[in-house]
Amino acid sequence: MYEIFQKYLDEKAELTQAESERIQSFAIIKKLRKRQYLLQEGDVWKYDAFITQGCVRTYTVDEKGGEHVNSFSIENWWTGDRESLMLQQPSRFNIDAIEDTELILFTHENFEMLCKEIPGFNNMVNAILQRSFIAAQNRIQASLALTAEEKYLNFVNKYPSFASRIPQTMIASYLGMTPETLSRIRKQTAKK
């Protein structure tokens, strides 16, 4: 499965052969079965994690047991809890697999070392962070300005592949509404 990450690197970063090999030497392959946790609330997150196959969700659980999905991540994207990682504090988030999933992990020390050693890698990492931040801003914007129906249409438009592979309950939670409301919205919009 490393080839998928290698291809990603080839596309996104300018690296010499030696640098590529150095990066690979620190990669840890990890497989998750559907429903398996990658991170549980209370644990400290210690990795930078790239998904080569599958899909995970990041969510919190409130006192009443309600789950609130913060994000979905699929193949060719990164996952983890940056706050827990940076501050080395217990995470408020859970991350688990929605499908059987394969990841490549780097311990944060190794990852930081690679960033310091390899400018091309560092640049790629920064570019990813920029994009993540922009995406988060847009999500905030949507949550403030859109109605439930608009949020759903916006979501489907932005991530067409997600609607089919992720259970509606989770999408509803991600959009900040109940599954019932999402079900009714889908019925409504299907008519049009």
Chain positions contacting DNA, by CB under 7 A: 34-35, 147-149, 167-169, 176-184, 186-187
Per-residue contact flags (x/-) with a second copy for residues 40 to 79, judged by CB under 8 A: --------------------x-x---x-xxx---------
Considering the complex, state which of residue 7 and residue 35 has its C-beta at the smaller distance from DNA.
35
3-state DSSP helix/strand/coil % of the chain, to nearest 5: 50, 25, 25
Using alpha carbons, list the distances in angstroms from residue 126 to 27, 47, 107: 19, 16, 18
Distance CA 100, CA 64 (A): 28
Residue selected from 28, 29, 44, 140 as contacting a second copy according to rule CB under 8 A: 140
Asked if 28 interacts with a second copy (CB under 8 A), we say no
Considering the complex, state which of residue 24 and residue 138 has its C-beta at the smaller distance from a second copy.
138
Of 51, 45, 46, the closest CA to residue 128 belongs to: 51
Distance CA 101, CA 165 (A): 13
DSSP character at residue 80: S
Residue selected from 137, 161, 183, 189 as contacting a second copy according to rule CB under 8 A: 137
Residue 180 binds which of a second copy, DNA, none (CB < 5-8 A, kind-dependent)? DNA
